Amino acid sequence: MLKKWEQRSMKVAALGVTALALAGCSSAKSSSNQGNNPGKTIKIGVNMELSGSAAGYGEQQKQGIQLAVKKINKNGGIQVGKTKKKVQLVIRDNKTTNNTAASVAAQLVNNDKVVAVVGPATTNAGTAAIPNMTKASVPTVSPSATDPDFTLQKGGAVQKYVFRACYQNDFQGSSAAKFVTKNLKAKRVAILTDNSSDYGTGLTKAFKKSYTGKLVSSQTFQEGDKDFNAILTSLKHKQIDAIYAPGYYSEIGLIVKQARQAGIQAPIVGSDGMADAKLAQIAGKQNANQVYYTTPFSTKAAASNPVASKFMSAYQDKYGSTAPTFSALAYDSVYMIKKAIENEGSANSVKIANGLAKLKNFKGTTGTITIDKKHNAEKTIAIEQLTNGQVTKTYDVDQ
Amino acid sequence: MQTFGQQLVNGLSLGSIYALLALGYTMVYGIIKLINFAHGDIYMLGAFWGYYSLRAFHFNFLMALCSAMVVCAVLGVVIEYFAYRPLRHSPRITALITAIGVSFLLENGMSALVGANARSFPQALPVVTYHWLGIRVSNIQLLILITACLLMALLELIIKRTKMGKAMRAVSVDPEAAQLVGINLNHTISFTFALGSAMAGAAGVLIGLYYNSIDPLMGMTPGIKAFVAAVIGGIGSVPGASLGGFIIGILETGVQAVGLSAYKDAVVYFVLIVILLVMPAGIFGHNRREKV
């Protein structure tokens, strides 16, 4: 009897110890404030949405990251002081969930000892990863977390180790509002928002703040929705001059298709989540007319930007299609880290964070980037117009 | 009036897809009392089969539709054989959890295999839009509605007029008694899975053609909505599932038409709760007393 009890208690104890050990692995160290140092190689972590609902975007970003690292290593690596060190990627999937994003962050900084992280792609997952990154003093650059508060702490102070390579929503939303008023002269606008992401709701908020005309209708949809006929039919007789639809290409492509098939010819204006050749494929070329979107990465502008045109052709060679915006942003994220290391002459993670904060006039594929006080990427914005599925015109928006 | 008619068309074409999916849920539940959560993913596989057969084998649309039905029927049987048959005598909750597991396996397996990106479906049929009393109806909407109705009628025929259908009905009433009179339980259950999965495969190809966008997670939400449709119609009842599908489609369209798009899913689930409270067995369901 006693023996049995003993056995059982031993088992419980063993379980407890294992649990503790596991917990010890996953919670970030807070004692040392020195951050991680590189070994023979510079380890860069990737905390990315490779499965789950945002996997499509995560996959594209991974391609951009791998392309960047391959190119860096081909040229011998990153100059750290007097030696050149190669870059080693540690790619981990956060499954588009917040808990996994947080535990992946802990794993990357504590077990893999990376000196910088690229990702996550979405604001939600990105925000969940911040505490562990900050505890370990390792900087993270998100290619596509657009929420204005992403880089800020609750009180409004900046998150020391959080950066982004994309615009924040306020900038993009207000640019779209200006374009709709000035260029399209639209007096009556309907909004269709992806309200399952911070991206869509944030852009809508920013658009509403700066748009001065009449807002006829404001409707929402969910990521993964395929049928917009009902909403579009109800908009048809409301005499709208334009539709503002911030979201990703997979849903906006369907909105464009169904709107044109329902006989709505009003211009459809969106955001950089639409900047993908797949938009026109899903909408159908004959339907992708009078479609506009704000983007940092115009394929037209790329022709005059040597960094971008090199990236475009490298991507084309490797993956056989036009580079999507997400890949370009992820590519820039890696090069921003490289630049920060070179400027600081050290690949210590704290130094990289300092270097990123001081980044100025960095020539990326998505334009010339300067990191501002709030760790946002400042760069110019353009609006592209699609006609028959092709980019035919690029507009500049004055701020 | 025009807008109303147009919305009705929208609702019917959405509803026929839900109805096709709901049939699979209801048949499997009727026979082995299992809610097959992987059913929505069979529909996704049907869409992908359509995509590859149209692109790689240059099938025409009819061939793509029929081959997708065959492939999905086989897949349904295989899934039943490996995942559910070994659990035939375990508690129902075990089979239910396995179904969720199979669903995850199919979704993430396809994401890993073909990538999670949404892709455009080859346009096998050119879109023609008919104008009739100011209502726009596309040939694809008509096709979906007609195919759905045809398949449902065919299913009704199979269940009511064939020997296998009779066996299915017998198994659903009492599997043990059915075995006593010489009905092969395993064959009947496999056949049910094949039928339901074929319906889902057809729905997948039709959706691919209609919306022109498919991805590995496309089965999740429609799967759950179709499940709700089956419950509203009375789970286990074939005409109930068809009716439930159309009700959900029209309800969703109606909610969006009056400008409450943010609440469209909430309303569907709210109706589910109300139906379960008022008529726990659904519209066509029989309120059978459980034997203890």
Beta-bridge partners for B73: none
> Would you say residue A166 has pLDDT above 50?
yes
Calculate what percentage of chain A has a pLDDT beyond 90.
44
* Residue in the structure block whose two tokens are 């459809």: A268
pLDDT of A29 reads: 42
Q: Name chain B contacts of A257, Cβ cutoff 8 Å.
A: 211-212
What are the structure tokens assigned to A42, written together?
A: 């510079």
Instruction: Look over chain B and give the mean of its residue pLDDT values, rounded to a whole number.
Output: 88
User: Over the stretch B40-77, which tens digit does the pLDDT of each residue have?
Assistant: 999 999 999 999 999 888 888 899 999 999 999 999 99
Q: Worst-scoring range by mean pLDDT, A298-302, B208-212, B262-266, B284-288?
A: A298-302
- At A31 the pLDDT is 39
The pLDDT, as a whole number, for residue A197 is 78
Instruction: Say how many domains are in chain A.
Output: 2
Using a CB-CB cut-off of 8 Å, the residues of chain A touching B7 are 230, 233-234
The pLDDT of residue B289 is 59
> For residue A13, what pLDDT is reported?
56
From chain B, pick out residues whose CB is under 8 angstroms from the CB of A97: none
Decide if B17 contacts B46 (C-beta within 8 A): no
Structure confidence at residue B29 as a pLDDT band (50, 70, 90): confident
Residue A361 and residue A260 share a domain? no
Residue A326: its chain B contacts at CB < 8 A? Answer: none
d(CA B68, CA B22): 18
Separation between Cα atoms, residue A271 and residue A246, nearest integer Å: 5
Give the mean pLDDT of B230-258.
89
Query: Tell me: the pLDDT tens digits for B156-189?
Result: 899 899 999 999 999 988 888 999 999 999 999 9
pLDDT > 90 in chain B, percent: 42
Determine the residue among B106, B107, B213, B220 to mutate to test chain A binding: the one whose Cβ has the most chain A Cβ atoms within 10 Å: B213
pLDDT digit string, tens, across residues A20-66: 555 444 444 443 457 898 888 999 999 999 887 788 789 899 999 99
* Paired tokens of B6: 């147009």
Q: Based on the domain organization, do A347 and A315 belong to the same domain?
A: yes
Question: Which range (A292-296, B84-88, B224-228) has the least confidence?
Answer: A292-296
Whether B43 contacts B220, CB under 8 Å: no
A271 and A221 together in one domain: yes
Confidence label for A351 from pLDDT (cuts 50, 70 and 90)? very high
User: What's chain A's average pLDDT?
Assistant: 86
Q: Where are the alpha helices (DSSP H) in B174-288?
A: 175-180, 185-211, 220-233, 238-257, 264-278
For residues B75, B80, B84, B85, the Cα torsion angle rounded to the nearest 10 degrees is -140
Q: Is the pLDDT of residue A330 over 50?
A: yes
SS3 string, A360-399, reads CCEEECCEEEEECCCCCEECCCEEEEEECCEEEEEEECCC
What CATH number corresponds to the domain at position A214? 3.40.50.2300
Q: Which residues of A touch B14 (CB under 8 A)?
A: 227, 229
HEC secondary structure over B60-96: CHHHHHHHHHHHHHHHHHHHHHHHHHHHCCCCHHHHH
pLDDT digits (tens, 9 = 90+) for B12-27: 989 998 998 998 888 8
How close, in Å, is residue A132 to chain B by CA atoms? Answer: 27
Query: For residues B166 and B188, is the Cβ–Cβ distance under 8 A?
Result: no
Cis peptide bond prior to A120, omega within 30° of 0 = yes
pLDDT of the residue at A27? 43
A326–B contact, CB cutoff 8 A: no
- Does the pLDDT at position A300 exceed 70? no
Is residue A59 one of the residues assigned to a domain?
Answer: yes
Give the nearest partner residue to B7 out of A50, A224, A230, using CB atoms: A230
| Same-domain status, A239 and A324 | no
Distance of alpha carbon A67 from alpha carbon A342, whole angstroms: 19
Q: Which of A64, A45, A57 is nearest to A104 (CA)?
A: A45
Tell whether A146 and A178 lie within a shared domain: no
Residue of B nearest to A234 (CA): B257
CA distance B199 to B13: 16
Nearest to A42 by CA among A391, A361, A294, A352: A352
Task: State pLDDT tens for residues A187-221.
Answer: 999 999 988 877 888 899 999 998 988 999 999 99
Distance CA B42, CA B77 (A): 11
For residues A130 and A143, state if they share a domain: yes
A236 chain-B contacts, CB cut-off 8 A? 3
Shortest distance, CA A268 to any CA of chain B (angstroms) = 18
Q: Residue B163: count other Cβ atoms within 10 Å of its Cβ.
A: 8
Q: Do both A290 and A310 map to the same domain? A: no
* First vs last C-alpha separation in chain A: 80
- Domain match, A151 and A187 both: no
Domain boundaries, chain B: 2-219
**A397 pLDDT higher than 80:** no
Q: Is residue A98 part of a domain?
A: yes
Both A70 and A57 in a single domain? yes
- Tell me what pLDDT residue B290 has: 55
Q: Does residue A397 belong to any structural domain of this protein?
A: no
Does A291 lie in the same domain as A173?
yes
A253 touches chain B (CB under 8 A): yes
Of B292 and B251, more confident:
B251
Residue A7 lies in a domain: no
Q: A254 CA to chain B: closest CA distance, Å?
A: 7
B168: which 2 tokens? 């299915």
Above 90 in pLDDT, residue A381? Answer: no
Identity of the residue in A222, A226, A261 whose CB atom sits nearest the CB atom of B127? A261
From chain A, pick out residues whose CB is under 8 angstroms from the CB of B118. 56, 249-250, 253, 278, 282
Tokens, residue A232:
């579009």
Nearest chain B residue (CA) to A287: B127
* pLDDT score recorded for residue B292: 54
Nearest CA in chain A to B6: A233
Residues A277, A201: one domain? yes
pLDDT for residue A44: 95
Domain that holds residue A351: 42-167+304-378
* Mutation target among B111, B127, B212, B268 for the A interface, most CBs of A within 10 A: B212
Residue A19 pLDDT grade (very low, low, confident, very high; cuts 50, 70, 90)? low
